[in-house]
Amino acid sequence: DGGITQSPKYLFRKEGQNVTLSCEQNLNHDAMYWYRQDPGQGLRLIYYSQIVNDFQKGDIAEGYSVSREKKESFPLTVTSAQKNPTAFYLCATQLEPRGNQPQHFGDGTRLSIL
Amino acid sequence: AQKITQTQPGMFVQEKEAVTLDCTYDTSDPSYGLFWYKQPSSGEMIFLIYQGSYDQQNATEGRYSLNFQKARKSANLVISASQLGDSAMYFCAMRVPNAGNNRKLIWGLGTSLAVNP
């Protein structure tokens, strides 16, 4: 099946620990995005990538890091520098970064502090 | 400032009736796109409908239609013949040019829709 796979569905982080959220897609889309969603809030952009080996900071990049070594994969690391990481994280893809196509989303990862 | 405003935190509708979810936007750029997404309680974000700023006609997709009033800067979502499965959060988003010729989405805070049997 074509789609976007985020894993794990639920993740718990200890103090001082880095954790990595996975996002894999087989849609052959060029652009990939990471969003954070807090309760009662809209989505806020963390990082995005238009092509392999390139990525840009979004509005709330501090405390997060990403890589784009393959077109299919765009993992997000939540570092210990992110002091309030509890949120719902959504990965999205888009066929072309400057097109008018919609972004398509994975099922999300819920991250909590232990 | 570029902004999306959804003024209805929560809405109720009777099954089989139509409902309108409001969205107003603010941008000085003549080229923009407007999107509506549905987010069920399970969390995934589902694309519903798109309207481009230069589109002459209102967008329609099945039971979803967009009431686009450019002069008023509004892009309201109309859901006809509501179903129980329509109960969800609904987000309006706007795509605008960003730095370096990139484009990003600006999101509203959403409207929670409950469909009553």
Is there a contact between B42 and A97 if contact means CB atoms under 8 Å apart?
no
Structure tokens at A77: 């690391």
- Give the pLDDT confidence score for residue B102 in this predicted structure: 62
- Give the pLDDT confidence score for residue A8 in this predicted structure: 96
- Is residue B70 within 8 Å of B53, Cβ to Cβ? yes
Residue A34's pLDDT band (cuts 50, 70, 90)? very high
Mean per-residue pLDDT for A11-18? Answer: 89
Query: Residue A63: pLDDT above 70?
Result: yes
* Contact with chain B for residue A50, Cβ under 8 A: yes
Mean per-residue pLDDT for B22-40? Answer: 94
- In one-letter notation, the amino acid at residue A35 is Y
Residue B100's pLDDT band (cuts 50, 70, 90)? low
Query: Residue B96: pLDDT above 90?
Result: no
Beta strands in A8-95 (DSSP E): 10-13, 19-25, 31-37, 43-49, 56-57, 64-66, 76-78, 87-94
- How does the average pLDDT of chain A come out, rounded? 92
Q: CA B27, CA B73: separation in Å to the nearest integer?
A: 9
B62: exposed, middle or buried (C-beta count within 10 Å: 0-12, 13-18, 19+)? Answer: exposed
Mean per-residue pLDDT for B36-53? Answer: 95
Structure tokens at B6: 């959804």
- Give the pLDDT confidence score for residue A2 in this predicted structure: 62
Residue A1's pLDDT band (cuts 50, 70, 90)? low
Nearest to B44 among A41, A58, A107 (CB): A107
Structure tokens at A108: 């999300």
Query: Residue A98: pLDDT above 90?
Result: no
- Give the pLDDT confidence score for residue A114 in this predicted structure: 81
From B110's Cα to the closest Cα of chain A, the distance in A is 7
Q: CA B69, CA B67: separation in Å to the nearest integer?
A: 6
B-chain residues within 8 Å CB-CB of A57?
none
Place of tokens 């089989």: B16
Query: Residue B90: pLDDT above 60?
Result: yes
Is there a contact between A107 and B95 if contact means CB atoms under 8 Å apart?
no
* Contact with chain A for residue B19, Cβ under 8 A: no
Task: Convert the pLDDT of each residue in B64-88 to its tens digit.
Answer: 999 999 999 999 999 999 999 999 9
